[in-house]
Each structure stands twice: as structure tokens, then as C-alpha cells.
Structure 1
Amino acid sequence: MGSTSRRALTRHARVADWWAGAWRWVLLAMGAVAAVYIVLDRGIQNGSMTAIALAALVIGVAVTGSQPLAIALMAMPGLLIVQRVGLGGGGLSVSDVALAAAFGTSVLLAKRPFSQPLRQLLWLNFFYQFTTLFTVIANPYVANTVEWFHAWLLVSGALIVGWAIGAGGYARLALSLIVVTASAIAVLTMVHGLLQYATGDFGPVYPTWPFPMHKNLVGIVTAFAAIVVYINPDWVGWTRGWSRFAFWLLLAAVLLSQSRQALIGLIAAIFIAVIRRGVTGRSRLVFLLIIPAAWLIISMVIEQIESQERHNSVFQRLNWFREVYHYWRESPVFGHGLRYWYNPGSLPFQPPQAEMEVLASAGVFGLVGFVVMWIGVLAVLWHVDPRFGTLAVAIVLSRIVQAQFDLFWTAAGVSIPFVVAGICLGAMAREQRAKPPESPDEEALEVSPRSSSPETSGVERPAAPSSGAAGAQRA
């Protein structure tokens, strides 16, 4: 009977272990089916980049059995890729798919409980989502509802992914994957720029290989990575020489892209690093670098204004602002719905400014939620331990500054800074949990009346019978 019972228990244990890991096989099958579907839906050539990205996620599912959070880690390079995937003609990007896959893994494997700063950020995003729910109800169409969930994923989903990675001990690896991927984009931008300059064209660089990239995308993702290596927190463990080389490489790509909003956002992050120079070690002399950057931005704007070209970025934005303002006045309270520019008869463009986009999409209600969310997010991150909070507040501030001059709700533009902020909070929580608890002897010394000093107890204690000055000092 004893041997039979042991065999039965062993059999039940094996079945329980199989069911415990069954979800990994389900994700593996779903990823394989999605990859095959996208290739068939878009064609082998057009779907190759998407298939490669999904293949990486499928491999991550298989590896997750032995390496926790493998999917989330393998999704980090995918966050920087905004090529569209098929999925029946939807508007999802590789970055969205990667973030969604990483979020699913992080929800299952993230350490609990969440820290107080993370919970505060999630509640702030929830408040914004609540205020935009009115426009989803007032404007019932599919894209409106889909974008409501998409916006939540870009903020709260990204925070949870970053938290899971940081709290799991993979902060350095995840940040390295982001920086290395951005550095590869920077190298491709420099090569393309040199070829372009050789033909006498000194305009913005738009890399075309391995896939077309807009100059603002190049500028934004390389600026984010430049912020990470410039601040280079001590808990990441990068050498100073490597971080300096990566920073100058990424900065060169930002300049070649001629993305003004990316450069302005990078300047804002450098201000934060200098303000907290006690943590970052950055000197005020770095402000000298801001002078040529500001001169470059101002000169480009002046050049476009003097050209009087009606279709350049300056005059085009002024026309767009005017059109968006008049369009918002038609529905000022609840707006016209998220992603309204895809609807026939609506303005056929996304407003190139954050608050104006939210105002036209979600009305006054949504704008209030947006402003409260961003002020609250920056306030929470500012009060976090500067060793971890400096990078988080710098990269998040950089994003909102960028969005004052260009599109806001874009996949990589929103998800990357919030993933990095989540990594910082997760790494901080992991370090706090790793601190050894006070020993019982130390606790006894704090609470025992016999361990009180003569000054606090009011009783003079006799000297211990020890020899020498050392013994007297111990007594």
C-alpha cells in the first residue's frame, strides 16, 4: 500500500506540474498560428519583418519554461519597431504586438505586491482612462474602443512590463537590449546619412533599410536610448567608457535625423541630470552643449519661416492647429473620439501636439484627465529615490516635452519611456527587498531596558570586568 500510494502521489504531482506549465504551450501555439497567419495575410516579402518579430516571441515562449520573463526580454528590441502588421488590415505595429506579448507574460510572472509608486502611477493612468471613457460612449465606433484599450496598454501595460523586468532582476539586460537596438538604428542612420550627404543632400535622414523609418522615429528612439546611457545609473553597472561611446553615437543619430522635438526632449532630460548632479555626477558645464543644439533648432525654424513655403513643417503645423481648433468646437465636451481621423468625413490627420490631440479626441473631460495624469506621474517619479527616479523622471519628462511639438499617442514614443520608468521602480523594489532584516540581537538592543545607555535609563551601569582599554570601551 505504501508503494502504491507513493506512485499515485507521484503521478498526481506530474499531472499538476503539466497543467501548471500548460499556459506556456498555449501561448506557443497562439504565437505560431499568428506568425503563419500574418505571413499568409500580407505575403512572404511584406510580412517578413513581422514574422521575424513574432518568431522571436514564439522562441521566448519556449524559453520561458527555464528562463522567466524571456518573452518580456525578447520584446525589448521589438518596442523600437513600428512597422505595421497585418492582422486583417488593422493598425497594430510590431511595437504593439511586442508590448502586448510582454504584458501577458509580466502579468503572470511579475513579483507581487506592486510598490506604492507603481500603484500610484497605475491609478493616475486609470483616472485618465476614466475621463476618456466618456468619448468612447459618446462616439460608438470600433477604432474608438480599440484605441481606448491601446492607450491603457501603452502606459499601464508598459509600466507593468518594466516593473516585472526590474523586480525580476533583469534591469541591466533589458536596458542593454534597448540601447543596443537603438545603437544599431543609429549606425544605419549614419551610414545612410553619409551616402545622402555625398550626393549633396543635407536634409533630414530617413533610413530605408532594413525597413523605412521616419526621421522623427529615428530621433525619438535614439534620444530615449541616449538619455539612458547619459544618466547611466549605478545599479545598471555599465562602464563609463562604454556609456560615453554609446551616448555620442546616439547623439549623432539624433542630429542627423534633424528631429527638433527629439533634440528638445533630450535637452530637457539633460537638465534633470544636471539638477541631480549629486546622483548622476554631471557637471554644469554640460549646459554648454545645449547652446549649439538650441542654435540648430532655432536656425531650422527661422529658415523655414523665411522660405515662406506653405507646405513646410512650420506653416503646415499652424494650418493644422487652426483646423483642429475649429473641429474641436463642434464637440467641445466629449470630443470626436479616439483616432477620429480614420473616420470618413473627419479631419484626415492626427494633431501634431499632445494636448490638442486629446482635446479634439476626448474633449475637455479627456484633457483634464490627461493633465492630471502627467502632473501626477512626474510628481510621483520626482519623489522616488533619486538613484532610481532620476532616469525615470528624465525619460518621461522628455516624452511630454517632445509631444508639445509632434504626435503623442504613438507606439514606441509612449511605451519605451514608461517601460524604462517601470524598470527603475522594479529595480528599486528589488533592492529594497534584498536588504537584510535587522538581526534579533539588534532588535533586542533597541527594546531591552538593560541595553539602554546611562543617559536614557537614568541608571549608572557598572563597568564590565574586562582587561585593557578595549574591554573598558566595550563595557
Structure 2
Amino acid sequence: MQSLLWAGIAYCAAAIPTLILNVYAENAIEWAHELVLVLGSMIVGFAIGRTGRAEFAVGSYVAGCLLIAFWAIGSFVFTLATTGQLVEVYLPSLHKNTIGGMLGAAIVIVYARPPWLRLNPLPYWTSLAVLSSGVAVSQSRQAMIAAIAGLMLISLRRRSETGRRPTLIWIVAVPVLIFAFSMLASQLESDNRFNSAYQRLTWYQDSVDIWQTSPLFGVGLRWWYTSRFGDGFQPPNAELEVLTSVGVVGLIAFLGLFGIGLVVLWRLDPVYGTVGAAVVLTRLVQAQFDLYWVAGQASLLWIIAGISFGTLIRDRDSPHSDSITITTNRPLPIASGPCPRRSVETP
């Protein structure tokens, strides 16, 4: 996990020049906030996994998402029954893209079905159906695309219990992607120049214009909270958001953080690393079409990544664990003495 922590430190360090060049309160506060969202989340997740609370913590998140999904479905059905319209779902304090993003991540976690989560078949399929319905009624296109990306990554790995790769997602992905892109196409063909698709195109261009005023180190974190660039807007794209805030230097470190995160999680034993890598990819894909630095969703992926490492270490060190195989690229220190029910493989 050290390489992942160092990648997080490198990103936070790359944002320091913008603190010096752009002195205002929101800039410094947001830097500390992102430090907690990245490094703090990794450490919290590791502690959760290392102390054996991963099943409770992740299960609680999924349970909360199920409640939101039921609420969203109920709201959708009520609106349809009273107005006859198929409209997006907005819940109190929950934007449709927030709903979609949270439920999309929960779908990926449930679908990965890591053994330490201990999901029985009936709750497993029921949970997937409810969560998928919640994303569908939210009509969050980016959440649909992001969830498909995470599920496809999981499908590249063989199931530990069956030894086969899941194939259903490749069948389901086609109609979901067609639906999502058809919604986008209809908006781009519309005469309404103020819909979400056209608004994003405008913000993309405005973001590039703002970035060009300070291309190397950016104009400062949370610059949209200030009045320096007219009406503030948070760029609906992770790379543009980072580029305008901390410049090219910060963007390189940001992409390095995700690249290193995906690599180290994918190289872990699949029992632990697959779900972490899939959630990280899911969040990155969603952030191509949505805001990235929002507290809850910006912390979840690194919490899950930390849990992946913490749970692996706990199971490796537990004297009561069943047969566990840990794959690593360098020898692990093994204490002397008998260890009859644990095997460590080092290629």
C-alpha cells in the first residue's frame, strides 16, 4: 500500500505551488480537504479492513444505497402515476447524479462479491436488481456508463468460487450503453441550448479558457467559489477540474495517482484487489462527465482501496484463516514456526 500512499502524497505536494501563487482562504481549506479525502480515506479504509470491520462497513454502505434506491424508485413511480411523465429523480439533498454515482458504486461492490463480504445468492441478485433499478430511474447517464466500466473490469477476472469469468455483463452492457448514448444524442439534437449536454460543452470551453490563464500551476483550488472568473461553475470533468485548479503539474500527479492505484490493486490477490480496482475505475469513468471533488464520492474509492489492503493483511496474519493464497511481486516476510493452513506464493 506504500506506493498508493506515496502517489497520494505526490498529488498533494503537486498542489502546493498553487497555494503559494493564489492566496485565498478557499484554496488552503480545499487543499487540506483533499488531503483528508485521499490519504485520510486510504488510512481509514486500511484500518477498517485490518480490524475486521470490512464486512460491516461495506455492508452498511450497500444497505444505505438500497434504501436510497427504494426511495428513488418510489418517487419515480409516484411521479409517473400522478403526472404520467418519465422524469429524472431528485431526492432531498440528493441530485440525480449523486444518486446514480452512489448506487453505481454499490452495484460494482455487490457484483464483485468478494468472499469477505459474505453475500448469499438471494440478497445478491435482489440487491443488484434494486440498485440497478435505482440507477435507471435516476436517469444518470454517467453513472450507467461508469457502472458498466467497473463491471466489465470485474468480468476479466475468474470467480474464485466457480473458476469462470462472468459473461452476463457483456450482454447487459449493450442495451444500457445504447440507452445512455441515445439520451445524450437526443439532447444534442434538441433546440434547447440550455440542456445538460450543451451546458457541459459550454463549461468545457470555459474551463480551457480559465486554465490558459495559468497553465502550469493552475488558478487555485475551488476557484469557482471566488468571483475572479465571473459566474462560478465547477468543471464537470475530472481532468478539467484538476487542470484549472492545479495546472499541468497537478494533473500529471492526479493521473499518476489513479494509474498507480489501478495497477497495485489489480496486482493484489483477486479476492481482495478486484473490487478495489473496479470501484476506482468506476469513479474515474463517472468523473469524465461529472464533478469529481465532492466529499462523499471522492472518498469512497480510496476507502475501498484501503479496505482491500487491510483485509488482505488481516487474513494473511490471522491464525484462524482458511487456506489463503497471497500473490505478490516480492518475497513476504514469514515468521518462523508452523503455519499449517496458510500458503504464500511468490512468483
Name the amino acid aligned to 1:318: L
Distance 1:250 1:219 in 2: 9
User: Residue 151 of structure 2: which of 257, 267, 270 is its match?
Assistant: 270
Q: Give 1:441 shift.
A: 11
Distance 1:190 1:265 in 2: 20
- Structure 1 equivalent of residue 331 of structure 2: none
Deviation track 1:48-81 (CA, whole Å, cap 9, x = no partner) reads: xxxxxxxxxxxxxxxxxxxxxxxxxxxxxxxxxx
Q: Judge conservation of contact 2:280–2:301 (CA < 8 Å) in 1.
A: yes
Q: Judge conservation of contact 2:7–2:257 (CA < 8 Å) in 1.
A: yes
User: Residue 137 of structure 1: which of 6, 12, 20 is its match?
Assistant: 20
- Structure 1 equivalent of residue 329 of structure 2: none
CA RMSD, 1 decimal: 1.6
Distance 1:221 1:135 in 2: 31
Name the amino acid aligned to 2:305: A
- Structure 1 equivalent of residue 294 of structure 2: 410
Q: Judge conservation of contact 2:47–2:310 (CA < 8 Å) in 1.
A: yes
- Structure 2 equivalent of residue 321 of structure 1: 204
Q: Does 1:122 align with 2:8?
A: no
Name the amino acid aligned to 1:290: A
Q: Give 1:322 shift.
A: 0.9
- Higher RCO (CA 8 Å, separation ≥ 6 residues): 2
Deviation track 1:68-126 (CA, whole Å, cap 9, x = no partner) reads: xxxxxxxxxxxxxxxxxxxxxxxxxxxxxxxxxxxxxxxxxxxxxxxxxx222111000
- Structure 2 equivalent of residue 255 of structure 1: 136
Q: Give 1:277 shift.
A: 2.5
Name the amino acid aligned to 1:354: A
1:325-474 alignment runs, 5 A limit: 325-347=208-230, 348-435=232-319, 439=337
Distance 1:230 1:248 in 2: 11
Q: Give 1:212 shift.
A: 3.0
Q: Judge conservation of contact 2:258–2:280 (CA < 8 Å) in 1.
A: no
Query: Structure 2 vs 1, CA of residues 299 and 441 (structure 1 numbering), >3 Å: closer, same or farther?
Result: closer
Distance 2:244 2:270 in 1: 36
Q: Give 1:356 shift.
A: 0.6
Name the amino acid aligned to 2:141: R
Q: Give 1:345 shift.
A: 2.7
Distance 1:134 1:214 in 2: 33
Distance 1:212 1:327 in 2: 29
Q: Give 1:438 shift.
A: 6.0
Q: Does 1:227 align with 2:108?
A: yes
What SS class does the counterpart of residue 279 from structure 1 fall into? coil
Q: Judge conservation of contact 2:142–2:290 (CA < 8 Å) in 1.
A: yes
What SS class does the counterpart of residue 115 from structure 2 fall into? coil
Q: Judge conservation of contact 2:159–2:166 (CA < 8 Å) in 1.
A: no
Distance 2:131 2:339 in 1: 52
Deviation track 1:369-403 (CA, whole Å, cap 9, x = no partner) reads: 11111111111111111110000000011000110
- Structure 2 equivalent of residue 55 of structure 1: none
Name the amino acid aligned to 2:127: A
Distance 2:111 2:134 in 1: 15
Deviation track 1:32-59 (CA, whole Å, cap 9, x = no partner) reads: xxxxxxxxxxxxxxxxxxxxxxxxxxxx
Name the amino acid aligned to 2:176: A
Name the amino acid aligned to 1:364: V
What SS class does the counterpart of residue 228 from structure 2 fall into? coil
- Structure 1 equivalent of residue 50 of structure 2: 167
- Structure 1 unpaired stretches of 5+: 1-117, 443-475
Normalised by the length of structure 2, the TM-score is 0.89
- Structure 2 equivalent of residue 176 of structure 1: 59
Distance 1:363 1:369 in 2: 10
Normalised by the length of structure 1, the TM-score is 0.66
Q: Give 1:228 shift.
A: 1.1
What SS class does the counterpart of residue 94 from structure 2 fall into? coil
Which has more radius of gyration? 1
Deviation track 1:346-388 (CA, whole Å, cap 9, x = no partner) reads: 2510001001111111111111111111111111111111110
Distance 1:150 1:177 in 2: 24
Deviation track 1:128-186 (CA, whole Å, cap 9, x = no partner) reads: 01111111111011110110011111111111111111100111111111011110001
- Structure 1 equivalent of residue 125 of structure 2: 244
Query: Structure 2 vs 1, CA of residues 309 and 289 (structure 1 numbering), >3 Å: closer, same or farther?
Result: same
Q: Give 1:435 shift.
A: 4.3
Q: Judge conservation of contact 2:76–2:87 (CA < 8 Å) in 1.
A: no
Q: Give 1:344 shift.
A: 1.5
Distance 1:340 1:285 in 2: 44
- Structure 2 equivalent of residue 473 of structure 1: none
1:56-135 alignment runs, 5 A limit: 118-135=1-18
What SS class does the counterpart of residue 298 from structure 1 fall into? helix
Greater fraction of residues in helix? 1
Q: Judge conservation of contact 2:70–2:134 (CA < 8 Å) in 1.
A: yes
Query: Structure 2 vs 1, CA of residues 130 and 441 (structure 1 numbering), >3 Å: closer, same or farther?
Result: closer
Q: Give 1:279 shift.
A: 3.4
Distance 1:307 1:317 in 2: 14
What SS class does the counterpart of residue 117 from structure 2 fall into? coil
Q: Give 1:222 shift.
A: 0.8
- Structure 2 equivalent of residue 293 of structure 1: 176
1:205-224 alignment runs, 5 A limit: 205-207=89-91, 211-224=92-105
Name the amino acid aligned to 1:249: V
- Structure 1 equivalent of residue 74 of structure 2: 191
- State how many pairs are aligned: 322
Distance 1:392 1:229 in 2: 12
